[in-house]
Amino acid sequence: MSSAAPRLPALLAALGQRAPRGMVLGLDRVREALAALGDPQAHLPAVHVAGTNGKGSVCAMVESVARAAGLRTGLYTSPHLSRFAERIRIGGDAIGDAALERALAAALERVPSPLTFFEALTVAAFVAFRDADVDLALLEVGLGGRLDATNVIAAPLCTAITSIAFDHVDLLGPTLADIAREKAGILKPGAPVVLGPLDPEADAAIEVVAQAIGAGPRLRVARAEHGGRAGEIAVGRAGPEARATRIAGPGRRALEVELGLRGAHQAENAGVACGIAWQLAGRWPEIERALPEGLAATRWPGRLERLDAGAAQVLLDAAHNPHGAQALAAWLDEEGPGAARTALVFGAMGDKGWGEMLQMLAPRAQRRFYATPQGRAAAPLDALRDIAPGEPIGDPRAAVARAIEVAGPGGLVVVAGSIYLVGEVRSALLGIVPDPVVTL
C-alpha cells in the first residue's frame, strides 16, 4: 500500500463491512449516489457486456484491442481474484492506490445513501474512469443486467450478451427466456447489440426486448468455417490443423488470429469482441486495424491460466457453473495430457450446479482432491466424494500441494469449480497477499 494513500486501508475495511448485505438489485441508490458526484457516467463512452459466461473474457479482449489502437481504457469487472483493485483497471493495470483511495472516498463518504459493496465499487469505478479521462470504458455486468448496478449507462456505444445458461435462477428466473429477458435489460434504444451463440428460446426473448425498445442493429455469432449469413459473425478454425481462429463478419470483414486466451470457446467470445470492435470502428477506425494484435495479446487471469508449480503444471480455470465446466472439459479432451496424468482440485459454492460440474470434470482426472472455497456455504466434501471418488482435504492450499505431489513431473493439476477457489490458489502460488474474499 503506497504512502500516498494513507486512508486506503480504512476505506477498504469500510467497503468490506458492506459485503454482508449481499447483492441488492436495483438502480435507485446508485443513480442517487452518482448524481451527488456530478454523474461521472453521464458522458462516459462505454461498452456494456452481460452473459452467463464469457462476459469478462469479451471485455478483456475489447479492452486489449482498444489499448492496441492507442486508446486510454477503463475496465470494470467482478469478482477479484486477489485484490479489490483488480476490479477497476486503467490502461490495462489495476488501479493505483492513490486513485483507488480517491474513488472509494467519493463512493463511501460523499453520497446520500448507504450503498452495498458492489454498488459502492461500481460508483467508484465511474469516478475513477472520469478522473482518469478514459477514452473508452468496458463494463461487465455483475449479475443479470436489468437491475444490475452497472445499468445506469443510458447511451452505451454498444451492448453485448455473450451467453445464456442456467445460473442465479432464484434471482433471474427459472427458464432461459426469463434469464435472457433480465440480461436484455442492458439493451438501449439505438445502441448496437452483439449476441454470442444462444439457445433459440433465449435468442427469441432477447429479440422481443430489442424490437420493443428500438435497439440495434443486431449481430449474432455463429459457428461456421467460412462466411455466415447477413447479420452474422462466423467463427471457426482457420484450417483443419490450424491453431488460428478465423472470424468473418459483415461487409466482407475477416481476420485470422491465434487468440491470446486458450480454449475453443474463446473463439465465440472473440467473435463477440470483433462485433463490438467493428461497431466502435465507426468512431475510432484504428480499432479495426488493431484487432489481430489486441486479440493475440489478451490475457485474463484464472481462465485456462497455466502456472509452473515446479513438480507439475497447474491449470487455473474459473469455471463455476455447468456451462463453464463443459468448456473446460472440452479443452482437457483436446489439449490436456490425459486423465492418467491429470489431478483435479475441485470446490464449489453450494448454490451452484456442483454435481453436474463434477460429473463433467471427474472423468478427465484420475485423481481428485476436494476443497472448500472461502465465501458462501460451499458444496459438502462428502457429497462431492459420493459423486466421484476422491480425497476430501478442505484447505485449498493443502489440496493443491497434495495434487502437485501426486501429478508429478509432466503432470497437470486442474483447479476449478469456483472463482474464489481459483483466486485463493492463484494468490498462494504467486505469493500475493490477498484482500478478503467477497462473493459479489
* pLDDT tens-digit readout, 412-428: 999 999 999 999 999 99
Residue that is written with C-alpha cell 462505454 in the block: 46
Q: Are 75 and 63 in contact (CB under 8 A)?
A: yes
Q: Are residues 247 and 309 in the same domain?
A: no
CA 292 → CA 246, 258, 273, 285, 288, distances in Å? 11, 8, 11, 14, 9
Can you read off the three cell numbers belonging to residue 221?
455469432
* Predicted pLDDT at 226: 55
Task: Note whether 287 and 312 are same-domain residues.
Answer: no
275-291 b/e with 16+ CB inside 10 Å = b? Answer: bbbbbbbeebeebbebb
Final residue of a structural domain among 249, 270, 297: 297
Question: By C-alpha distance, which of 332, 348, 336 is closest to 387?
Answer: 348
Does residue 2 form part of some domain? no
Residue pair 424/396 in contact (Cβ under 8 Å)? The answer is: yes
Q: Do 159 and 30 reside in the same domain of the chain?
A: yes
Give the domain extent around 246.
8-297
Same domain, 372 and 349: yes
Q: Strand 245-249 relative to strand 232-237: parallel, antiparallel, unpaired?
A: antiparallel
Q: How many residues are there in the chain?
A: 440
pLDDT of residue 416: 98
DSSP state string for 77-122: -S--SS-GGGGEEETTEEPPHHHHHHHHHHHHHSSSSPPPHHHHHH
Identify the CA nearest to 351 among candidates 309, 321, 326.
Answer: 321
Q: Indicate the pTM of the whole model.
A: 0.93
Q: What is the pLDDT of residue 1?
A: 53
Show contacts of 198-203: CB within 8 Å, 24+ apart: 198/161, 198/163, 198/164, 199/164, 201/175, 201/176, 201/177, 202/164, 202/176, 202/177
> 359 and 410, same structural domain?
yes
Q: Phi and psi dihedrals of 25, rounded to 5?
A: -75, 145
Burial class (CB in 10 A: 0-12, 13-18, 19+), 239: exposed
418 shares a domain with 363: yes
Q: Say if 412 falls within a structural domain.
A: yes
Q: Residue 219: which H helix or E strand, with range?
A: strand 218-223
Low-confidence ranges of the chain (pLDDT < 50): none
Q: What is the pLDDT of residue 151?
A: 97
C-alpha cell at 34: 452518482
Closest CA to 68 of 225, 263, 394, 299: 299
State the pLDDT at residue 5: 79
Distance CA(39)–CA(123), nearest Å, equals: 10
| Contact call for residues 288 and 273 (beta carbons, < 8 A) | no
Domain limit, last residue, from 243, 262, 297:
297
Measured distance CA(320)–CA(354) in Å, rounded: 8
- For residue 3, the model assigns a pLDDT of 54
Q: Which three cell numbers stand for residue 108?
A: 463511501
- Residue 435 placed within a domain: no
- Rounded Cα gap, residues 301 and 419, in angstroms: 11
Cα torsion 297, 301, 303, 309 to 10°: value is: 110
In whole angstroms, give the CA distance from residue 198 to residue 164: 6
Q: Mapping DSSP to helix (H, G, I), strand (E, B) and coil, where does residue 416 land? A: strand
Asked if residue 133 is part of any domain, the answer here is yes
CATH number at residue 320: 3.90.190.20
Domain end among 297, 324, 350: 297
Count the domains in the chain.
2
Question: pLDDT at position 376, please?
Answer: 83
Residues 6+ apart with CB under 8 A from 200: none
Per-residue CA distances from 285 to 85, 90, 216, 262, 290 (Å): 31, 22, 20, 27, 9
